[in-house]
């Protein structure tokens, strides 16, 4: 590629300006306005300026996607797969650079940033393969001469709305299947992580996607997200984000009739039984709760521990949590970076204070360290509470930060009852050596992703992912399940003409 794909990019001091990608062109917002993207580890670090778009930009993007829809629908699945393969190789060649940018923009550690970029590559490869898998079924008919079969057809134009916590993997796991199965896309990333979105779109554009097949519009939720989900040309919306926004989208989709997929929050339990390998359980509970600064929808936020081992287990948890190294996520020794924003840090600190006032037993953390020495990062100390009341706010509501509560219980039955008495059901873990209990857990736990002897966030990209109860819209993402959302079924009867 001779010129950078983002033609709207221009040097402005240290930081560059990035445009929207609409109809195969990088261009500024119609208003010409931009917004700033700053590193959560150091707000002096300006990552870039991005198009501050509005309704007219969304309309242009949807129009481009609608115009491209027939051409892309009629493109062979093999040709679509080839483009996804090529995009995977382009992104793979930039994994280190994009991973570093991800860390700078989102704040997770460098290892996690590079790892997540690798995961996006893997997802693109997977859906390149999946595009070529059998689609639809052949049925016997009451009439022996009838050819009766189903085909999966694309929805048309799909809106992809993504959060900041997995700023390249989540867009990849929505966009790759949308494109693989023949949809065109308007992509609105979180305003806190637009650079990762640009990098993913660049890879796909450079791989040869025809103009209009994938369109990127950056900007705020109200100015971009809202007109996007209300646009009558949008056939489906896939959203990962907060419960509050998910609830709003349900109402809008009920009015517009848009097909909707939601991945929302969790209050994920890790049950530790008395017979568990405690070293192993400790490692996985701490990692499940604290990696990515606790900002995974699948993060462990409740350690439900058998009372006979609760005191000893908690004592060791305190040591481990206090030993975590908080700091600049670009430094190799850092284990915990900042949270995403000052708003988020203040909200988490407020919830921690409220929990203390309500009587929760603070055992570690609870404060706001200024780890980069100048107080310009949104740091929250890894925080542990003991003896958490399962009915309390801390025991029920998602904090989306590095905060873990220990809930002592008497045995497996109570552990399951506590684990299930929340409105969410995304992921859950059990630590035990007892096969019977493992099987009971797998059967009884109300969660879409279930682990025995591994942490709650583990999720491989080629299998279905999603939650039960309030955690999702019952649909599943990734793996073969992705085809269900991004296609619709047509049933075809073909009879021979009368002889």
Site residues for ligand ADP per CB under 6 A:
161-164, 188-191, 221, 225-226, 229, 241-242, 245, 248
Nearer to ligand ADP, 216 or 271 (CB): 216
d(C-alpha 162, C-alpha 170), whole Å: 7
Report helix, strand or coil for 465: strand
Residue 34, strand partner residues: 51
Strand ranges (E), 122-211: 138-139, 147-154, 157-161, 184-188
The structure tokens 């021979």 sit at: 496
d(C-alpha 396, C-alpha 398), whole Å: 7
Q: Judge contact between 153 and 182, C-beta under 8 A.
A: yes
Active site residue 196: no
Catalytic residue among 106, 130, 297, 351, which?
A: 297
Q: Which residues contact 106 (CB under 8 A, 6 or more apart)?
A: 40, 113, 164, 165, 167, 192, 193, 196, 340
Nearer to ligand ADP, 132 or 475 (CB): 475
Phi, psi of 138, deg, nearest 5: -110, 135
d(C-alpha 22, C-alpha 153), whole Å: 24
The angle formed by the CA atoms of residues 440, 402 and 396, to the nearest 5 degrees, is: 50
CB of 165 to ligand ADP, least distance (A): 6
H or E element, residue 374: none
Q: Judge contact between 26 and 9, C-beta under 8 A.
A: yes
Q: Judge contact between 293 and 338, C-beta under 8 A.
A: yes
CB of 188 to ligand ADP, least distance (A): 6
Report helix, strand or coil for 145: coil
CB of 297 to ligand ADP, least distance (A): 8
Q: Judge contact between 286 and 383, C-beta under 8 A.
A: no
Whole-Å CA distances, 431 to 20, 387, 415, 444: 47, 19, 12, 15
Report helix, strand or coil for 148: strand
d(C-alpha 296, C-alpha 113), whole Å: 13
Catalytic residue among 263, 351, 455, 477, which?
A: 263
Residue 263, strand partner residues: 240, 472
Residue positions annotated with a catalytic role:
263, 297
């Amino acid at each position: 590629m001779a010129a950078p794909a983002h033609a709207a990019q221009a040097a402005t001091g240290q930081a560059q300006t990035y445009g929207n990608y609409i109809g195969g062109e990088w261009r500024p917002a119609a208003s010409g306005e931009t917004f700033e993207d700053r590193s959560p580890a150091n707000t002096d670090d300006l990552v870039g300026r991005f198009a501050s778009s509005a309704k007219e930009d969304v309309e242009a993007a949807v129009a481009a996607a609608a115009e491209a829809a027939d051409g892309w629908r009629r493109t062979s699945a093999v040709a679509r797969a080839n483009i996804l393969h090529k995009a995977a190789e382009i992104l793979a060649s930039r994994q280190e650079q994009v991973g570093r940018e991800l860390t700078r923009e989102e704040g997770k550690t460098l290892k996690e940033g590079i790892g997540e970029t690798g995961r996006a590559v893997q997802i693109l490869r997977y859906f390149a393969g999946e595009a070529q898998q059998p689609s639809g079924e052949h049925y016997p008919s009451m009439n022996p001469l009838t050819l009766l079969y189903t085909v999966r057809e694309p929805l048309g134009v799909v809106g992809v709305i993504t959060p900041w916590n997995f700023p390249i993997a989540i867009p990849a796991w929505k966009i790759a299947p949308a494109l693989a199965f023949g949809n065109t896309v308007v992509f609105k990333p979180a305003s806190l992580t637009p650079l990762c979105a640009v990098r993913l779109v660049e890879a796909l554009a450079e791989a040869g996607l025809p103009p209009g097949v994938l369109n990127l519009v950056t900007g705020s939720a109200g100015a971009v997200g809202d007109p996007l989900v209300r646009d009558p040309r949008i056939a489906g919306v896939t959203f990962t984000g907060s419960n509050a926004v998910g609830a709003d989208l349900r109402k809008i989709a009920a009015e517009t009739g848009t097909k909707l997929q939601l991945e929302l929050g969790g209050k994920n339990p890790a049950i530790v039984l008395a017979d568990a390998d405690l070293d192993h359980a400790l490692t996985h509970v701490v990692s499940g709760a604290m990696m990515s600064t606790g900002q995974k929808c699948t993060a462990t936020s409740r350690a439900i521990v058998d009372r006979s081992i609760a005191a000893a287990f908690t004592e060791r948890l305190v040591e481990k949590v206090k030993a975590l190294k908080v700091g600049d996520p670009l430094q190799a020794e850092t284990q915990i970076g900042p949270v995403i924003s000052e708003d988020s840090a203040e909200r988490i600190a407020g919830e921690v204070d409220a929990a203390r006032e309500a009587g929760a037993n603070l055992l570690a953390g609870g404060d706001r360290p200024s780890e980069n020495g100048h107080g310009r990062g949104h740091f929250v100390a890894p925080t542990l509470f003991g003896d958490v009341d399962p009915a309390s706010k801390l025991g029920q509501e998602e904090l989306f930060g590095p905060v873990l509560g220990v809930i002592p219980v008497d045995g497996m039955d109570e552990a399951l009852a506590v684990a299930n008495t929340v409105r969410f059901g995304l992921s859950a873990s059990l630590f035990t050596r007892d096969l019977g209990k493992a099987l009971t857990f797998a059967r009884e736990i109300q969660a879409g992703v279930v682990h025995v002897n591994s942490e709650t966030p583990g999720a491989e990209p080629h299998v279905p992912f999603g939650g039960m109860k309030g955690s999702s819209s019952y649909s599943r993402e990734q793996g073969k399940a992705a085809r269900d959302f991004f296609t619709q079924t047509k049933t075809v009867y073909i009879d021979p003409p009368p002889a």
